[in-house]
Structure 1
Amino acid sequence: MLIENIRLFLTIAEKGSLVAAGREAGLSPTTVSERLAALEAHYGVVLFNRTTRSISLTDEGRILQQGAKMLLAELGDLDTRIRHGAETLSGPIRISAPIDLGSSVVADAISDFTRQHPAIAIELFLSDGYVDIVGQGFDLALRFGKITDSTLRTRSLGAYRRIVCAAQRYVDAHGVPRQPEDLAQHNCLIMRLGTVLDNIWHFGSEKSSKSIPVRGSMTTNDGALVRQWAREGHGIILKSELDVAEDLRTGKLIALLEEYSAPPKPLQMMFPPGRAQPRRVRALADAIAAAIARKKSDIAQEPRP
């Protein structure tokens, strides 16, 4: 009964109300309230702050929520291994990735993975902004740059250059910037990363670095869209080599200011804090890491743009 009460607790936390949780579980509000009270009595703590209009998790509730998700995931893995054999993977995985990388390399890796493991259900959330892995219930996430949250576990996926590039038609119409300062006279297509505007572009090594403010006529929070705009000749972009390698190879985009490139930025896979991930999450993480490693190898074998 304890496990079932914990499942109900997670449903309450997800739905934000006892009534909605009862509707989801097919239970009356009274039964939901009684079972929540039993769970709180078991642990000797209050799990929700309750008002007449809303409920929210207490600190103890957040700790239980985090641990309960991992516990139930591990129980699901154990059940599958006993019922269907040790090699079978099943269950849900929630993953967050940058839009451009997520819709290409990550999406392809997921397609291959689910063909091999049809009992896995994957939800892929694409966003170039900040994602609260724990609060939003993600099993893993990919992000460029340094990770400031020291509580998260990370796995390095290598480091990648950011390349300034544009379509040939844009360069023919507006000329080639010869140094970073020349970008002030160009239309730069700008990414919005969550609440942060990526309008300060960095160049050079740490000892001789330059930070150049840029501006332009088009801004978006979609990395794939900003790359499309660049291919159409609207302006200059700054994107990871993972995103633009194919466009550079086919000539849809050309690299600019290569001699001023900043040091590569790390790409990292992040996991919620706590115990080891379920086997299905570890397996998907390995598949994505392998796909990105292959992409990196392909890029390394191509001539520098």
Structure 2
Amino acid sequence: MMLNHLELFLLIIEKGGLSAAGRELGLSPASVSERLAALESHYGVALLTRTTRSISLTDEGRTLAEGARRLLAEAEELDSRVRLGAQSLSGPVRLSAPVDLGQARIVPIVDRFLDQHREVSVELNLTDGFVDLVSQGLDFAVRYGTLADSSLKVKPIGENRRVVCAAPSYLERMGMPLHPDELHGHDCIVMRFGINSDHQWSFLVDGKPYSVAVRSRRMANHGELVRRWALQGHGLCLKSVWDVQADLDGGRLIEVLAPYSAARTALQIVYPGTRSQPRRVRALIEAITTELAADDRT
């Protein structure tokens, strides 16, 4: 019975409300509220802060969510091992990845993994924005850059270099910038990450960090759209080399300002450090790490 209450608690978090969780399970709002109250009574603390429009986890609720995912994952893996044998992989895996990298590289790996393990299912969340792994119930995420959340563990894949590039048609029309300061006279296609926009582009000039504020007429929170606009000749873009290497190799995009390219950043897999990972999750992490590391685009 306690496991069922924990599953319901996690579903409430995932769906963002009691009513949505109830609809998923065919339960009335009153029944869901009653079971949540029983769980809070059992622990003697409030697990959620509720308003008319949203819910949020209390500190105790976040602790319970992390522990509940670990406990349920262990229970599920135990059930799978008993039913299917210790060498079988089964059950769901939920992960997140950047849009371009996900479509070009992660999806083919996932497809091959699913062909090899017929009892495994995968939910892939492609987004260029920040993802809270715990609140969204994700097993792991593929991420670029510095890790901000120190509670997460990291499995390195390789290094990432961001390149400024544009279509030949744009460079023929507007000219080739030869120094970062010349970007002031160019149209730059900018990424938005949540509430932050990437209007400050970083370079190395004389071996020292150098930042340029670029102007943009096009901005998007979707990496694939930024790349498509660049391919259509609408401006310069700053992209991970992992995302545009095929376009650079094929001449559809041309890298500019290469002598001023900024230092490399990490490409890595991150996952909650407090969670015990089922074998299926560890196996998919290993598959992604192995294949991407073999194709390191540094």
TM-score normalised over the length of structure 1: 0.88
Q: Secondary structure at the match of 1:190?
A: strand
Q: Secondary structure at the match of 1:184?
A: helix
Q: Secondary structure at the match of 2:275?
A: coil
Q: What is the match of residue 6 of structure 2?
A: 6
User: For 1:204 and 1:114, how far apart are their aligned partners in 2?
Assistant: 43
Q: What is the match of residue 239 of structure 1?
A: 239
Whether the aligned pair in 2 keeps the contact of 1:242 and 1:295 (CA below 8 Å) is: no
State the shift of 1:7 in Å: 2.3
C-alpha deviations, 1:36-68, integer Å up to 9, x for none?
A: 454344434343456788765433222112211
The answer as to 2:219 corresponding to 1:219 is yes
Q: What is the match of residue 156 of structure 2?
A: 156
Whether the aligned pair in 1 keeps the contact of 2:97 and 2:141 (CA below 8 Å) is: yes
Question: Within 5 Å, which residues of 2 pair with 1:1-305?
Answer: 1-15=1-15, 18=18, 21-27=21-27, 32=32, 35-49=35-49, 56-204=56-204, 207-296=207-296, 299=297
Q: Secondary structure at the match of 1:262?
A: coil
| 241 and 16 in structure 1: CA distance in 2 versus 1, 3 angstrom threshold | closer
User: For 1:8 and 1:79, how far apart are their aligned partners in 2?
Assistant: 19
State the shift of 1:240 in Å: 1.0
State the shift of 1:107 in Å: 1.1
User: For 1:51 and 1:193, how far apart are their aligned partners in 2?
Assistant: 27
Task: Give RMSD over aligned pairs.
Answer: 2.4
Q: Secondary structure at the match of 2:188?
A: coil
User: For 2:249 and 2:19, how far apart are their aligned partners in 1?
Assistant: 56
Give 2:75's aligned amino acid.
L
When structure 1 is superposed on structure 2, of 90-99 and 241-250 the one drifting more is 90-99
Give 2:244's aligned amino acid.
V
User: For 1:281 and 1:95, how far apart are their aligned partners in 2?
Assistant: 9
State the shift of 1:205 in Å: 6.5
Whether the aligned pair in 1 keeps the contact of 2:47 and 2:58 (CA below 8 Å) is: yes
State the shift of 1:20 in Å: 5.0
| 4 and 177 in structure 1: CA distance in 2 versus 1, 3 angstrom threshold | same
Q: Gaps spanning 5+ residues in structure 2: where? A: none
C-alpha deviations, 1:110-169, integer Å up to 9, x for none?
A: 111111112222111111121112122211112211111111111112112111111111
Q: Secondary structure at the match of 2:142?
A: strand
Q: Secondary structure at the match of 1:149?
A: coil
C-alpha deviations, 1:234-273, integer Å up to 9, x for none?
A: 1111111111111111111111111111111111211123
C-alpha deviations, 1:261-303, integer Å up to 9, x for none?
A: 111111121112303322111111111112211221xx46xxx
Give 1:204's aligned amino acid.
L
| 229 and 65 in structure 1: CA distance in 2 versus 1, 3 angstrom threshold | same
Give 1:157's aligned amino acid.
I
When structure 1 is superposed on structure 2, of 20-29 and 195-204 the one drifting more is 20-29
State the shift of 1:31 in Å: 5.2
State the shift of 1:206 in Å: 8.9
Q: Secondary structure at the match of 1:246?
A: helix
| 239 and 36 in structure 1: CA distance in 2 versus 1, 3 angstrom threshold | closer
| 37 and 166 in structure 1: CA distance in 2 versus 1, 3 angstrom threshold | closer
Whether the aligned pair in 1 keeps the contact of 2:203 and 2:210 (CA below 8 Å) is: yes
| 146 and 54 in structure 1: CA distance in 2 versus 1, 3 angstrom threshold | closer
